[in-house]
Structure 1
Amino acid sequence: MAHKVEKTILISSWVVTLLLLILFVPRERVREAQIPFLFKQVITWFFGLFVVEKGLIEYPYRLFFKKSNKSSFTFEYFVYPALCTLFNLYYPEKRNALIKAIYYFFHTSIITFLEIIAVKYTKLIRYKKWTWYWSFITLWITYYISRVYYRWFYKNQFSNALPSSSNQNA
């Protein structure tokens, strides 16, 4: 059976990512979790299609939408947004800058490392005019943009200026 490893990885990615969301997104924060998920989808839709259409990256084996979209639906539209959701929900907001930088480094390094393995051992992704450090940099930037948007969207939660009881008319 051709591409058995790739198919197994993609299906496992869906299952593991779904389990991570079920286990680590508290029920009372599901609505809050939707914001970074959907925002990351917008970012990855734009950048994912850009790098594929410019011939920087190729996804030789895709499970979904093989004829309509050259990017990886599994990773660009589900796995990365889900991981970004967890990143935002558990971000160490009240910690110092070093801890925050380590948090960014940890999240982007894990994804980059798994991508390097996929490039080397599977047909899920092929770097054409791309390298691992571009993945690391773009992941870091998109996580940062997503964090800025998340903070903006929930600015009242991050601001001490307005008590929560004064926002009754909203």
Structure 2
Amino acid sequence: MLIIGIALLFFSLRKPPTKDLILIFLLTSFFSTFLGVIVVEEKMLEYPISFLSNYFSSSILYEYLILPVVCIYFYQATYYSRYPSIILKCTLYTAFLTIIEVIFERYTDLIKYHTWTWIHTFISIFFLFMFIRILMQLINKQER
């Protein structure tokens, strides 16, 4: 997952506006880490096998790399879109990530749900992506 995440990050930053993409990456990392720590510390879910598990209780590969990179691709896919299209694309990106997480939860030891469900994942990712998209729109509007 580390290699896939780094490769996707490399390819995602090749399109302009690079400033926006780096900001999206950092904002998504910040907010997902904040939410991820709360969820893990409240024991809603756990990551029995994770990268650098001696130092982090949450999944740093997911929160610092995979999710921010997917958010960059979502932003690029919706850069010229109107709100109905943005909502549809956000739903598709969110559904993809949720399905992958459910597969990992059922068939691997990478994630284990306690009180957390796939619905929580879907809703949290959807609102995070929409929040980042609207925030970037406001930042770019203010910049102009």
Distance change in 2, residues 1:100/1:27 (3 Å): closer
Deviation at 1:49, TM superposition (A): 0.1
Q: Which runs of 4+ in 1 moved over 3 A?
A: 92-96
Deviation at 1:15, TM superposition (A): 1.8
Distance change in 2, residues 1:27/1:120 (3 Å): same
Identity %: 25
Hey, what's the Cα distance between the residues in 1 that align with 2:79 and 2:89? 8
Per-residue CA shift, 1:117-160, capped at 9, x if unaligned?
A: 00001111000001101100000011111112111221157xxx
Specify every segment of 5 or more residues in structure 1 that has no aligned partner in the other structure, as ranges.
1-12, 163-170
What is aligned with 1:148? Answer: 134
1:41 matched to 2:29: yes
Secondary structure at the counterpart of residue 68 of structure 1? coil
Secondary structure at the counterpart of residue 63 of structure 1? coil
TM-score by length of 2: 0.90
Deviation at 1:20, TM superposition (A): 2.1
Name which of 112, 132, 136 aligns with 2:98. Answer: 112
Alignment of 1:18-167 (within 5 A): 18-64=6-52, 66-95=53-82, 97=84, 99-155=85-141
Deviation at 1:40, TM superposition (A): 0.5
- Name the amino acid aligned to 2:102: I
Deviation at 1:92, TM superposition (A): 4.9
What is aligned with 1:5? Answer: none
Hey, what's the Cα distance between the residues in 2 that align with 1:102 and 1:148? 15
Measured on the aligned residues, the alpha-carbon RMSD in Å equals: 1.7
Deviation at 1:90, TM superposition (A): 2.3
TM-score by length of 1: 0.78
Secondary structure at the counterpart of residue 41 of structure 1? helix
Distance change in 2, residues 1:84/1:96 (3 Å): closer
